């Protein structure tokens, strides 16, 4: 990390900066460039570093291009945001419920005029289901 050379040495580091240095240390350890004790000591120093200069000192003797952590992060495809559920408005729910109620009442009057008892029972059942759906839509639309 060439932070000290770029004039940021006295600036405070962030958790992301420390995590990036820890990733470099892990790669160096895996490649055999650090012993276990040295690795653990440098991890402790990285976690307690407050400035870029202190953080740069942790990896000063490790080759700069050791890992491609930044390139790996950039090469991952970005996550697609979760699809937002489209909600119907309360006005739409009430209007649809009203139209269903009007249509059902017209059918009910027609069935009563004709005198078909089975049709009346079927229309009452349909109306009950339609009313439950309309009420549910209104609750969800709130």
Which residue, 47, 49, 43, 48, is CA-closest to 11?
A: 49
Residue carrying structure tokens 């932070």: 3
DSSP state of 51: B
- pTM, full prediction: 0.44
**pLDDT tens-digit profile of 37-92?**
999 999 999 999 999 888 889 988 888 765 555 445 445 566 676 677 677 777 87
> What's residue 77's pLDDT?
61
Give residue 37's pLDDT: 93
Q: How many CA atoms lie within 13 A of 18 on its CB side?
A: 15
Bridge partner residues of 117 (DSSP): none
In degrees, rounded to 5, the angle at the alpha carbon of residue 77 between the alpha carbons of residues 72 and 82 is 135
CA torsion, points 57, 59, 62, 65, in degrees to nearest 10? Answer: -120
| 18, 19, 22, 24: CA torsion to nearest 10 | -100
């Amino acid at each position: 990390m060439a932070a000290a050379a770029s004039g940021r040495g006295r600036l405070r580091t962030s958790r992301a900066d420390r995590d990036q240095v820890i990733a470099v240390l892990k790669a160096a350890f895996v490649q055999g460039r650090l012993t276990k004790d040295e690795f653990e000591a440098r991890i402790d120093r990285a976690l307690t570093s407050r400035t870029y200069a202190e953080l740069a000192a942790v990896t000063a003797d490790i080759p700069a291009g050791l890992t491609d952590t930044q390139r790996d992060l950039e090469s991952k495809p970005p996550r697609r945001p979760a699809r937002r559920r489209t909600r119907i408005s309360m006005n739409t729910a009430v209007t649809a419920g009203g139209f269903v109620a009007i249509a059902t009442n017209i059918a009910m009057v027609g069935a009563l005029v004709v005198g078909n008892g089975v049709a009346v029972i079927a229309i009452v059942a349909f109306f009950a289901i339609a009313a439950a759906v309309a009420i549910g839509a209104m609750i969800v639309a709130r």
